[in-house]
Amino acid sequence: MTKIIKFRIIIFIVSILISYLLSDNYQNMLGFVLILSIGIIHGANDLLIIKKYSKKDTLRGTMSYFLYYLSFVLLGFIFFYLFPSVALLTFVLVSIYHFGEQHWEANKLSNQINPVKRFFLFIFHGSLFFIIIFINNIEIVNTVLISFNITPLIFSYLKIVLYALAFLYILNLFYFRETRKHLFAEILFFSLLFLLTINSTLIFGFAIYFIFFHSLLSIKDQVKFIHDNNKPENIKKYILSAIPYFILAIVFLILFYLLTDLGTTDILPIIFTFLAAITFPHVLVIEKMYRNMK
């Protein structure tokens, strides 16, 4: 059993225990703290990544990248303000690929594997995550969807989609020699994810996956790409360089909360709108980072 599998099992077991011990309010508080700290920090050094693979280390170049990146984020907010339903669906689709990509990068998937196979592995993994977390939090998910003028999900249809996706994913993993060794680990992963999300709140279940099975793993790869290794002093440099952008992101979130009316007093639509706006450019940056790491 590899270290990454042991890590996943430990995190899931601890998280499941916490979900039984904490009330929904405390679960949500813990989830928000994780998302608004580690979650934001994991995307706060995109400019350093851009500077590394562009090989342009000048003040003018840095400022140009910052303005382009900021413009992209602002466009994300405008996108949500003008077309909330389309923007939310786009965020989910982009996140499906992004989460799947990070998961399989952590699995050390061979770089020689067919790009089409890689793409479908990413999509299957990300889709299963969202289907599971949606199906186990259907009421609150539908509340969020309604606030974005999206038709609510139907539980029975979600179950059919879940069974079909799970079958196709298992078949895909078993069929190809390069992925067959990951079959047990993937079944175990999604079984534990299901147990967690069936008892936890939407925000807590999402936060556990987003932080421990995405953000921290992404930070590890980012530090290695920026500084060429994952030594503790380089992780410290990564965190310190992220702080100004982290503060800027929090200020944006507060202003967005105060100035934007999404037709609801629920914080969840605000959080997901904010995450989406900063996710769109981040996904492009990380995608190019991994291409440069091959």
Q: Which residues of the chain are modeled with pLDDT < 50? A: 262-264
What does the pLDDT read at residue 30? Answer: 94
Contact of 275 with 91, CB cutoff 8 Å: yes
What does the pLDDT read at residue 189? Answer: 96
Which of 181, 189, 237, 194 minimizes the C-alpha distance to 212? 189
What does the pLDDT read at residue 127? Answer: 96
Which of 160, 166, 91 minimizes the C-alpha distance to 129? 166
Contact of 39 with 210, CB cutoff 8 Å: yes
What does the pLDDT read at residue 59? Answer: 63
Our CA angle for 103, 10, 125, nearest 5°, is 20
What does the pLDDT read at residue 58? Answer: 64
What does the pLDDT read at residue 70? Answer: 81
Which of 81, 119, 122 minimizes the C-alpha distance to 102? 122
What does the pLDDT read at residue 15? Answer: 96
What does the pLDDT read at residue 134? Answer: 95
Q: Is the pTM of the predicted complex or chain greater than 0.85?
A: yes
